[in-house]
Amino acid sequence: MAPELPVFDELADVADLRHDDIAMALGSLHARYPAFRFRVAEVGWLGCRWIAERIKGLDPGLHTMITADLAELRDALDQDEARHAR
């Protein structure tokens, strides 16, 4: 069974989350989607964003995603996984 990702208020700004919550979310994302590396970073004037990057950049599918919305990130990764399941 896939690890459960923490549930945050979908309207919460990444910058408003506690460090422990971010660390738990990043760990859960890595466990659920091992083909990607994850981080939270300040992206210019946009503020903090969730960033997912495919580890093997030449593999087919989603390469990089930058978003403020954790749910959007999970949905995109789930769709990518469904399209490129081996």
Please provide the DSSP assignment of 44-75 as one string.
GGG-EEEEEEESSTTSSS--EEEES-HHHHHH
Asked if residue 4 belongs to a domain, the reply is no
Asked if residue 22 belongs to a domain, the reply is yes
Question: What local confidence, expressed as pLDDT, does residue 73 receive?
Answer: 93
Asked if residue 9 belongs to a domain, the reply is no
Query: Which band of pLDDT confidence, cut at 50, 70 and 90, is reported for residue 11?
Result: very low
Asked if residue 3 belongs to a domain, the reply is no
Average pLDDT value for residue range 42-62: 87
pTM (two decimals):
0.78
Residue 3 in this model has a pLDDT that exceeds 60: no
DSSP H or E segment with residue 54: strand 48-54
Neighbours of 58 (CB within 10 A): 6
Asked if residue 2 belongs to a domain, the reply is no
Asked if residue 68 belongs to a domain, the reply is yes
Which is higher by pLDDT, 13 or 2?
13
Total domains present in the chain: 1
Residue 54 in this model has a pLDDT that exceeds 90: yes
Question: What local confidence, expressed as pLDDT, does residue 52 receive?
Answer: 95
